[in-house]
Chains A and B, each alone.
Chain A
Amino acid sequence: MTDITQSKLEQQSKPRSQWLDVWDQFSTHKGALAGAGFFLFVLLAVIFGPYVWAIDPQYIDIRARNEGMSLAHPLGTDQLGRDTLARLIRGGQTSMAVGLTAMLLSLVVGTLIGVLAGYVRWLDGPLMRLTDLFLALPLLPLLLVIIMLFRETLRSALGPEAGIFLLMVFVIGITSWMQTARIVRGDVLSLKEREFVLAAVSIGTPGRRIILRHILPNVLSPIMVSATLGIANAIITESALSFLGLGFPSDFPTWGRLLFDAIDYLQQDPGRVLWPGLAISLTVLSVNYMGDGLRDALDPRIRGR
């Protein structure tokens, strides 16, 4: 008993910001902390890795093919003698870049539609039917058609790699915003009947300001969570597309492509499947834990319990 009063007193004595509270809550979630640590590690590894491990991931050294782990090739080489570690780092760059950008895109679209549908009554119907429509679309066939239709134009405008990158980010982004939009709409609907919003309306605050000042900060928690899930989703979709042999050119490594290439060598050299598989699943897992922790941390009703 005395301990608690003691700590409460200490807390009151120090000035505390909201974000510090969030961090305190977040740091009590061991899984979230480990997840965030790992995600940061992967991020740093793919950004600075090429400077530390300077082997060209596309260089073929035919004499050194199918080698096991060694000092020259810590994760071995593939069937053409390309360094697996270098390819893993380079593949991670693409996969993470696709994941983060696609997540941002789907977040912006999802939040915009969710807030509009929740706040503007006459937009609710049409926007939610649009969301249902997108939810009902089968994702993979749609992606195949989009890639077939627009690949050529983008390739000639931006070059093969940048063109496909843009296309991938775009198709993944616009096919994964629906969950965010639905969750945000639900929260906005309940928030806009709350007293503080009614109070703001009654003193004549314009709608734009109400959304930015009162509603958005309060729906931040579901948005953050869907953002983390969105990264995982985007990485997996990109992997699936590369696994199907679509997407980036075949010599351009991504995690999904590495996994796809390694399938035939599963018996002979399990490591080649293991590393990209591990990278994908651990990244996705860490992001999911982060999302879990963020949800707890951002919800003021759970915080402190």
Chain B
Amino acid sequence: MKPRFIALLAAALLVVATHASAQRGADGHLNIIYWQAPSILNPFLSGGTKDIESASLVIEPLARYDEQGNMVPWLAEEIPTVANGGVADDLMSITWRVAEGITWSDGTPLTAADVAFTAEYCMHPEGGCAQLSSFEHVESVTAIDDRTVEIKYSTPKPFPYGPFVGATSPIIQKAQFQNCLGTSAPGCTDANFMPIGTGPFVVTEFRPNDVISMVANDNYRDPDKPAFASLTFKGGGDATAAGRAVLETGEFDYAWNLQLNPDVLTNMEAAGNGKILASFGTAVERIMVNLTNPDPDLGDERSTRAHPHPFMSDLAVRQALSMAIDRDILNEIGYGSTGRPTCNVVPAPAIYASDANDACLVQDVAGANAKLDEAGWVIGSDGIRAKDGVRLSILYQTSTNAVRQDFQALIKQWWSEIGVETELRNVDASVFFGGDPGSPDTFQKHFADLEMYTNLFDGTDPENYLNTWRCDNEPNPGNGWQGVNIPRYCDPAYDAMLEEMAGTADLDERVRLTKAMNDKLMQEVVMIPLIHRGRVSAHSNSLGGIKMNVWDSELWNAADWFRQ
């Protein structure tokens, strides 16, 4: 009898426990570790991810991006579009409606005046707002009534979702910040360290560059959330220590941004205390082709459009180089679960990802050889292909980084199998990415035939990113080598698609254009994409409800987190 009684009691307790966990504050304490410590909780005064993400627990925007990169209304009723009348037909204005019944943590209601004030705060000419780019081309933000706010633009905006969308542009309380405009903004320590917000948590203590203590917000809009009564947000240390604290020792529940060697991560995960989460944003490791001649004898015209490349301008050569690469092996060696092979330069958000180029995922050395034979590149006595006296001898550079040097060595071997000679070079990362016009080794100068690095775009809209490869955007001596079109690509057909996109607001059309441009770049092998790189975090086994998000703050849905 006795064991059965205990079992019954346990079952009863379990029912009570499950029931209790659906209540606010029932799951006790949450420990989060970010190995970069937050120094301020006001994203408008800091561009640091650590500050933006820690603040996202407290202050919230009108709309957020979910884990797929789709926009979801957050403090707003719905996402304004041209179809529902929220965006004007001439694309010059957008009107948001604040959802009903949302209050600040001090009990006062959130109004359109707070939204308009936030814009005034960030756009103040003397303020030095870190998120000013979100407010680009904004002419005015006015509160029409208590719940309606209208943003007017100075030019037509096909993608008008800059202000008040995402973790970088949250709403701050007018009552708290109204004396902190312009030059007095950094001086408002109390407001910057303990902002009043609409989010699930309220700051009780903020120690800059160290620890933040928070408790659940009593006035949070969902009466059952958050499940945690309090949380500690610890900052500082390094990625390895943060990973250990969650995966090996279990001191913390959540660790952010663990960019570690895949073997190291796997070993940590094997301890069994937690799990690794990878989420894929827009970062792609790629090889950029140089379509212009980098010969040092050309002097000032080196790597400019004045001289096309002696052999890289041949499409067959570029295609063969891409075909000879086994992206699966590269991923296995360099990234493991934190990366995946890709054939696109716009691999995400999911709606923009093209599947027209997936053939490159399979290595095809025989096909590459056949392609070069067909194009008239003949293998010489030294094993290297040549045509009309031009040898396929490549200088392939990248930054100094263990994974990149492994990639170089592997790719060099594959290319030797198709009769291409490769010389490897690695440049110190601070020089390579430093952008110093006086150095010959920057990635902008591209004084090589190929170079490898990672690039990505912020947010979810790829228009600006695709604009990178517009004609005349390339670095050259005339603009102090500050351009962004690294392959020196120039095609009027591509530019025409960009023009079309600039005047298109309809999402489906934008998706079609994005895919078309991506496919054009890929099929002309202007660059050779290798790995779609993810962001990696870790959580303890007992923490549930996490939806890892690279488009917004990783803590975007902390209100839904619970203890399992």
Interface residues, chain A, with chain B CB atoms under 8 Å away? 58-60, 62, 65, 79-80, 82, 148, 152-153, 156, 160, 244-246, 249-251, 261, 263-264, 267-268
A60 and B263 contact, CB distance less than 8 A: no
Smallest CB-CB A-B distances: 8 pairs = A245-B400, A250-B405, A249-B424, A251-B409, A60-B413, A250-B426, A160-B423, A264-B402
In the complex, what residue of chain A is closest to B332 when comparing beta carbons?
A: A62
Query: What are 13 A-B interface contacts by the 8 Å CB criterion?
Result: A58-B413, A60-B409, A62-B410, A65-B333, A80-B333, A80-B409, A82-B409, A148-B440, A160-B425, A249-B423, A249-B426, A251-B412, A264-B402
Residues of B contacting A60 in the complex (Cβ-Cβ under 8 angstroms) = 409-410, 413
Chain A residues near B296: list those with CB within 8 A: 152-153, 156
Minimum distance in angstroms from A278 CB to a CB of chain B: 21
Closest to B326 in A: A62
Contact (Cβ within 8 A) B406 A80: yes
CB distance from A292 to the nearest CB of B (A): 37
Residues of B within 8 A of A148 (CB): 439-441
In the complex, the chain A residue whose C-beta lies closest to that of B439 is: A148
A267 proximity list for chain B (CB < 8 A)? 264
- Once A148-B440, A148-B441 are accepted as A-B contacts, the answer to whether A80 and B408 lie under 8 Å apart by CB is no
- Interchain nearest-CB distance for A276 vs B (Å): 15
The answer to whether B424 touches A79, judged by C-beta atoms less than 8 angstroms apart, is no
Q: How far is the CA of A62 from the CA of B410 in the complex (A)?
A: 9
Q: Are A261 and B410 in contact (CB under 8 A)?
A: no
Determine if B423 and A245 form an interchain contact, defined as CB atoms under 8 angstroms apart. Answer: no
A152 to B410, CA, bound (A): 25
CA distance A153 to B296 in the complex (A): 9
Query: B142 in the interface, Cβ–Cβ < 8 Å?
Result: no
B183–chain A nearest beta-carbon distance, Å: 40
Given contacts A62-B333, A152-B296, 16 further A-B pairs with CB under 8 A are A60-B410, A60-B413, A79-B333, A79-B406, A148-B440, A148-B441, A153-B296, A245-B400, A245-B426, A249-B423, A250-B405, A250-B408, A250-B425, A251-B424, A261-B402, A268-B267
Counting CB contacts under 8 A, is B261 at the interface? yes
Q: Does B126 contact A (CB under 8 A)?
A: no
Distance in Å: Cβ of A112 to nearest Cβ of chain B = 34
B436 to chain A, nearest CB (A): 11
Q: A148-B440, A251-B424 are in contact. Are A264 and B408 (CB under 8 A)?
A: no
A275 to B469, CA, bound (A): 47
- The residue in A82, A156, A251, A261 that gathers the most chain B C-beta atoms within 10 A of its C-beta is A251
Are A246 and B428 in contact (CB-based, < 8 A)? yes
Tell me whether A244 and B329 are in contact (CB under 8 A): no
Q: For residue B412, which residues in chain A have a CB less than 8 angstroms away from its CB?
A: 251
> Roughly how many angstroms separate A60 CA and B267 CA in the complex, as a whole number?
25
Task: Kindly list chain B residues whose C-beta atoms are within 8 Å of the C-beta of A65.
Answer: 333
A267 to B412, CA, bound (A): 28
Chain B residues numbered 238-294 whose CB sits less than 8 Å from any CB in chain A? 261, 263-264, 267
Residue of A nearest to B296 (CB): A152
In the complex, the chain B residue whose C-beta lies closest to that of A244 is: B428
Residues of B within 8 A of A160 (CB): 423, 425
Question: How long is the Cα–Cα vector from A268 to B267 in the complex, in angstroms?
Answer: 10
Most buried by B among A62, A156, A250: A250
Residue of B296, B400, B402 with most partner-chain A CB within 10 A: B402
Contact (A245, B428) CB under 8 Å given A148-B439, A251-B409: yes
Residues of B within 8 A of A264 (CB): 261, 402
Interface hub of B408, B413, B428 (most chain A Cβ within 10 A):
B413
In the complex, the chain A residue whose C-beta lies closest to that of B413 is A60
CA distance A77 to B502 in the complex (A): 53
Write out the residue numbers on chain A whose beta carbons fall within 8 Å of the beta carbon of B413.
58-60
CA distance A250 to B499 in the complex (A): 43
Is B263's CB under 8 angstroms from A268's CB? yes
CB-CB < 8 A to A62: which residues of B? Answer: 329, 333, 410
Residue of B nearest to A252 (CB): B424
Contacts of B426 in A (CB 8 A): 245, 249-250
| Chain A residues with CB under 8 A of B439 | 148
The residues in B between 414 and 429 inclusive whose CB is less than 8 angstroms from any CB of A are 423-426, 428
B440 to chain A: closest residue by CB: A152
Contact B410 A80 (CB under 8 A): yes
